[in-house]
Structures are given as structure tokens and as C-alpha cells.
Structure 1
Amino acid sequence: MSDIYVLCHLLLLLLLLSFFSTTANIADAATLPSDISALKAFKSSVTPSSIPSWSCLASWDFSAADPCSLPRRTHFTCALSCSPDSFRVIQITLDPVGYSGSLSPLLSLLTHLTTLDLSDNSFYGQIPPSISSLLNLRTLSLRSNNFSGSLPSSITNLKSLETLDLSRNSLSGFLLKSMDSMTGLRRLDLSFNKLAGSLPKLPPNLLELAMKGNSLSGSVLKSSLGGLTQLEVVELSENSLTGTLESWFFLLPSLQQVDLAKNSLTRVEISSPPAGGSSDLVAVDLGFNKIDGYVPASFADYPLLSSLSLRYNRLRGKIPMEYSRKKSLRRLYLDGNFLIGQPPAGFFGGKSGVSGSLGDNCLWGCPASSQLCLPSQKPTGICKQAYGGRKGKPRS
């Protein structure tokens, strides 16, 4: 009997230890109440009819499970990540299923959040200024939604932010005057909104800048981009930028791709890279502007340049011979200008790998058999008018 008594006590002790261990694990895994409140507010601001039964948000059942508890078999199965140490919510990345609703200001309670990605859904309304409380945020992507209103000025408080993508929404109003306090920002995309104003002073460590398809005006100033030594990509097409694109711009040390097409630029100044220096410039698109003057020959001095578009501007004179000798150049669009003379023979040799167009100019002797010569050249009358009544001779 004594052995049985001891055995029973041992079994009871093991059961108690197992119970307390399980209880302790559940207590440790409990999500911070303020995080739960924020998640509840976030889900409740989403229109229920826009939540498919098979979606991530449909699995968020606060009555059945704790958001950060493991394992997640049937509840909180996706779109949510927690820190294993602090059991704080660190990531919300929604599936793109067309969720609709506003963005709850209570998201600001998720102070450990590093990623908020609601891309490719149908959220609407203003971006709440309280989002600036998410000081640990590194990625904020609200791309391809229906957000409206102005860009909150408080967003510049997000010093840890590395990626900000608010493209393809309906944001309006003027750009912020300065964003240079966002020292961690590497990628900024505000494309295809309704934003106006001039370019702000931009973050110093920016790699990629995209503000295509807005209503930006003014010139590209050195005070905005001049100190961006790491900038690789500039996409500012489909705006209303004016004035001169100065030579300092193309000498930015890390610049690789430039798209400033479909603006109202009137002049381009370009210098060769400094002696002994290098340039990573690969592609330049300045098409569909109002650029006057001669085709800048100095583009040929950029060793890696493979794509150049100056199409549909107001350029005059001859095509620089340097372009036909440049081995790296693979795409060249000079169509839609008022260029004269005979195009360099080097473009039409058997070894030439250049594609693009020299058409719709005032050239002569452009081989009809070459795709480069399409479309056909301008009528003689238009060319004479452009050159003061004398085809092929620029006005003095």
C-alpha cells in the first residue's frame, strides 16, 4: 500500500507541475492588452463584407485565441507576426484581397511595429497623424488603395523608416517642405497621387525616389537633391516640373536611372564626368518636355550609358557623332525634334546594335530600310519654319 501511495503522490505532483508549466507558458504568451485593443480596432474598422471567409483577417478571432500565442492552427494564421521575446506585435502584412475600410488611429498603440503593409486593397480616408507614434516602423506600404487627404506632416517623426510607399492612392495637397529629418529612409514612392508643390529637401540617405504622375511644379534644385550621394533612381515623370536641369544633377555619384519624361523642362546642362572619376549612369529619359538647344554630346562621355531618350522636345542641330561611336549605347530615341543633317553612318553599320528612333525630324539621307528612321521625317515646310525659312540652317 505504501508503494501505491507514493506512486499516486508522484503522479499527482507531475500533473500539478504540468498544469503550472502550461499556465505559465500561456501567461508568458499573452499579448499586451494595448496591442490587442489596437488589433481589435483595426479589424473593426474594416467593412465586414469585404473580409472573405478564407482570408487572413477572417482568422482573427479574439474570443478563441490570443494573437501571439502558439501554435496557430485555426486562428490568427496569417498577416500577423509577434516578437518571440516580448510577445508584442511587430508586423502586419495583409493579403491583397480587397479589404475596405478606414485606418484606425489606435494603430498607434502598436509601438513595437516594424512593418505595416496594407498594399493592394481598398482602404480609404485619411492616413491618421497618430501613425507617427510608431517609432520602430521600418516599412510603411499603403500602395494601391484609396487613401485621400494630405500627407501627414507628423510622418517625418518616423526616423527608423526605411521604406515609404504611398503610391497609387488619391493623396492631395502640397508636399512637405522638408523630409531630410527621415535619416533612415532609403526608398520613397509617392507616385500616382494628386500631390502638388515643389520638391522638398529630401532624406540624405535615399537610394530610390519616385514621385511620378502627380502635379509637382518648380525646378529640380540642388537644395533638394544635391547632397544625396547614395541616390540611384529618380522617377519624376508625368509632372509639371520646369526650368533647367543643371549639370550637377547628372554628376550625383551613385545615379543610375533617371526618368523625367512628360514634364515642362526647357533646358539641359550636362558636363562630362570629372577626369579620373566614374559614373554609374545607365538610363536617361527626358522625352516629351520642352527642351530647346542642341543635343548634348556630353551624354556620350558617361561610360555605362545604354539608354537615352530625348524624344519629342525642341532640339535642333545635328546628331552628335559621339553617339554612333559609343559601344554601350543600345537604345536611342531622338524622334520628334527638329534635328538636321545626315545621321551618323555608324548607326547603320552591320555591327550597330542600336534600337530606337530618329524619325519625325528634319534629317536627310536616313535609310528608309532602317527601323531607326521611322516614322518618316517632317515635311519640308515645317522644317523651314523651324529654322527661320531655311531648312538645315539654324537661326542666328
Structure 2
Amino acid sequence: MYTTIIILLILSTTTTAIATISSDITALKAIKSSINPATIPSYTCLHSWDFTSDPCSPPHVTHFLCGLSCSGKRVTQLTLDPAGYSGTLPPIISQLTQLITIDLSDNRFHGQIPNSLFSLPNLQTLILAGNSFSGVIPPAITNLRKIQTLDISHNALSGSLPKTLASLTELTRLDLSFNQVTGPIPVLPKNLIQVALKANSLSGDLQKQSFTESSQLEVIEVSQNSLTGTIPGWFFLTPSLQQINLSNNSFTRFQILKPVNSSLVAVNLGFNKLSGYLPATFSAYPMLASFTLSYNNLKGRIPWEYTKLPRLFLDGNLFIGLPPKDFFSRKTFIISGSLGDNCLKSCPAWSKLCFKSQKPCSVCQKAYRSGKLESKS
């Protein structure tokens, strides 16, 4: 019996000996104080932050039930529930120097992201998506030398991307979609695997130096911007690249080179201003399964080679002539997509590919400068 009591006393002493360092407690208090109390319901993580108890000392029965994790006496993870917390992020957050993860997504934080946040030496994951942070993207963001995941999408950030973004050599996932970011795409980090810059105001053309270092890049999502010029052939040959979305920009032409060990699976170039004729080369990409060119200004006949693609969207262009019969062969696999809203002849109504009707003949004649349409069809 005495042995049991001694063991319990030792365990009790060990438990109470764990005390969060004072600078971490001060920072946590400041974070809670910066949030409007009316937006902290009783069922939320922040409501359980009662500082009559030590944040890192277990067991967490009534206080600090969630929202943070510790290692010893230091806070290492700050992950708030998406409860609609409304407030600002205090600069004193930089005192949590052992933070590895910050996730404040899907709340109502506003104001500028404090520069001090980017001085955290061990931060690997920063997710501030789905808030109302504003102001320019601080150049100090490139001080996060250990950062691997950076997601600040769905905010109101403005200004251009830092030119020194490539210095984040550990970064593998970057998402700045749905902000108000301007300017060109800078040189991307070498270990980047996914980059999403959708729905901003990026401008300029695609520069080779922006992607040269990113040999592991698998996903590029830059749709709904203001990018212009020609989509160069080298872009589709970027090593490891699997998915490309450049839709809803202002590109006018694209070049296609012969694929070399390509891993491309899906390409979306829809809703641009692409003109010219559709090259058969694109169908030679061995892994390509989905190709979208909807609503551009492409002309000519559809090469039969495109009947090999499982998903093909060519609607809203100016393609002429008879569509390749293999699109509708009962012996081939079912192709999904659309050939509608073109200038095609005899697109069978029974096929889902032809659900959208073709353009009026007058529109097609005008596009081919009157009479030229007949000579090509």
C-alpha cells in the first residue's frame, strides 16, 4: 500500500512539474485577448483556454481541451477550430518560438499578418486560409526557412509575390489562391510540388526562369488571372508535371513540343484567347487523360488523334468539317466532354458530345472571312 502511495506521489509530482514557460503563456493569453469574446462560443477550443490551469500540463479535463499541442514545456502546435473567431493576430505570437504548425483556417481573422510571425524559426506548416487578412504579402515571409506548407488562400492579400520566394527551399505546397496578388510569377522554390495561385490578378507571360528550379512540380493552378502571351512548348515538358490549369487568362497562342517522358494527366486551357489550329502533337502525350480547350478561337478540323483521349472539351471554338467518326464509334471507349458550339457538320444529336448545338452558319462564315469556310470543309 505504501509503495502505491509513493508511486502516485511521484506521478503527481512529475505531472505538476511540467509548467509551460511564461513567455508561451503570455503569448497564448494575448492571442485569446485579441479575439472578440462574442465570437467565442462555449463549445469552442478557445473557450476552454482557462489560464487557472497550465496549458501544457496534463490531464486536460476541463481546461485547454483543444487548440494547442505541447512538447515538454513548449507549445508546438496552434490549431484552432473553424468556429468563426473574429479578431487580429498579435505580434507577440513570435514568442511561441517552438511552433511547428499554425492552422487558423476558416475563421474571421482580419488586419495585416504581423511581420513577427515570419521570425518563427521552426515553423513548418502555416495555414491561414479562409480569413480576411489584408495588406501586402510581407517580404519577411521568406524568412520561414523550414516552411513546407504555406496556405494563405481565400483572404484579401495584395501586392506582388516576393522575388526571393525561391529561398524557401523546403516549401512543397504553396496556395495563395483567391487573393488580390498582382505582378508576374517569380522564380519558384526548387522542392515545390504543388502551386496554386488561382483567382488573383497575376500578369505578364510565362517565363522559363520561374519554373527552371522546380523539377519536382506536379500541379500548377494559375487559372482566373490576367496572364498573357504564348504558352511555350517547354512549359508542358516541365519534369514531373501532372496537372496544369491555365484557364480563364488571356493567352493568345500555345506551342506544343514532342513529349519526352511526360507525366501530364490533365491540361485545362479553356476560356483564353487562343487562336490558330489544333496540333495533333498534344494527343501524343502518353498519360494525358483530360484536355480542355473550351471557349477559345481555335479553327480548322479536329485531328482524329484526339479520339484517344477519355475526356475532351473543345466546345465554344470554330472547328469545322465532320468530327472524327471514332468519337462516336460503339467499338471504342466512351469519351466524355463536349464538341458543341463550334462550326462542325453532322455532329450526331444522340451523342452526349454534341448536346450543345453548333454555331449559326452566319457566325462561322464571318469567322472564316466569308466563303473560306466552304473551302476548308
TM range (shorter): over 0.9
**Which of 295, 298, 305 is residue 281 of structure 2 equivalent to?**
298
CA contact (8 A) 2:189 2:213 kept: no
Structure 2 vs 1, CA of residues 372 and 67 (structure 1 numbering), >3 Å: closer, same or farther? same
Structure 2 vs 1, CA of residues 25 and 66 (structure 1 numbering), >3 Å: closer, same or farther? same
- Where does residue 50 of structure 1 map in the other structure? 39
Task: Classify the secondary structure of the residue corresponding to 1:392.
Answer: helix
Structure 2 vs 1, CA of residues 74 and 202 (structure 1 numbering), >3 Å: closer, same or farther? same
CA contact (8 A) 1:245 1:269 kept: yes
> What stretches of structure 1 of length at least 5 have no aligned partner?
1-10
> Which 10-residue stretch deviates more, 385-394 or 204-213?
385-394
Cα distance, 1:369 vs. partner?
2.0
Matched, 1:284 2:270: no
- Where does residue 163 of structure 1 map in the other structure? 149
- Where does residue 57 of structure 2 map in the other structure? 69
Report the AA paired with residue 348 of structure 1. Answer: F
Tell me how far apart the structure 1 counterparts of residues 170 and 259 of structure 2 sit (CA, whole Å).
Answer: 29
Cα distance, 1:59 vs. partner?
0.7
- Where does residue 343 of structure 1 map in the other structure? 323
Q: RMSD of aligned C-alpha atoms?
A: 2.0
Structure 2 vs 1, CA of residues 391 and 17 (structure 1 numbering), >3 Å: closer, same or farther? closer
Cα distance, 1:349 vs. partner?
0.5
CA contact (8 A) 1:380 1:391 kept: no
Cα distance, 1:80 vs. partner?
0.6
Q: How many equivalent pairs are there?
A: 375
Tell me how far apart the structure 2 counterparts of residues 138 and 394 of structure 1 sit (CA, whole Å).
Answer: 61
TM-score, normalization by structure 2:
0.95
Structure 2 vs 1, CA of residues 394 and 179 (structure 1 numbering), >3 Å: closer, same or farther? farther
Structure 2 vs 1, CA of residues 343 and 69 (structure 1 numbering), >3 Å: closer, same or farther? same
**Which of 16, 34, 40 is residue 26 of structure 1 equivalent to?**
16
Larger gyration radius, structure 1 or structure 2 = 1
Counterparts of residues 4-23 of structure 1 (less than 5 Å) = 22-23=12-13
- Where does residue 117 of structure 1 map in the other structure? 103
CA contact (8 A) 2:15 2:57 kept: no
Report the AA paired with residue 49 of structure 2. Answer: W
Matched, 1:371 2:361: no
- Where does residue 6 of structure 1 map in the other structure? none
Task: Classify the secondary structure of the residue corresponding to 1:340.
Answer: strand
TM-score, normalization by structure 1:
0.91
After superposition, give the CA deviation of every residue in 1:36-69 in whole Å (9 maximum; x if it has no partner): 111111111011110011111011111x211100
After superposition, give the CA deviation of every residue in 1:154-208 in whole Å (9 maximum; x if it has no partner): 0101011010000111111222223000001000000001111111111111000
Tell me how far apart the structure 2 counterparts of residues 230 and 16 of structure 1 sit (CA, whole Å).
Answer: 57
Report the AA paired with residue 56 of structure 1. Answer: C
CA contact (8 A) 2:195 2:219 kept: yes
- Where does residue 130 of structure 1 map in the other structure? 116
Identical counterparts, % of pairs: 56
Structure 2 vs 1, CA of residues 297 and 53 (structure 1 numbering), >3 Å: closer, same or farther? same
CA contact (8 A) 1:360 1:377 kept: yes
Report the AA paired with residue 110 of structure 1. Answer: L
Matched, 1:318 2:308: no
Counterparts of residues 270-281 of structure 1 (less than 5 Å) = 270-274=256-260, 278-281=261-264
After superposition, give the CA deviation of every residue in 1:282-320 in whole Å (9 maximum; x if it has no partner): 111100000011113111111111111001001011101
> What stretches of structure 2 of length at least 5 have no aligned partner?
none
After superposition, give the CA deviation of every residue in 1:235-286 in whole Å (9 maximum; x if it has no partner): 1111100011111111112111111110000111111213xxx221111110
CA contact (8 A) 1:316 1:394 kept: no
- Where does residue 79 of structure 1 map in the other structure? 67
- Where does residue 232 of structure 2 map in the other structure? 246
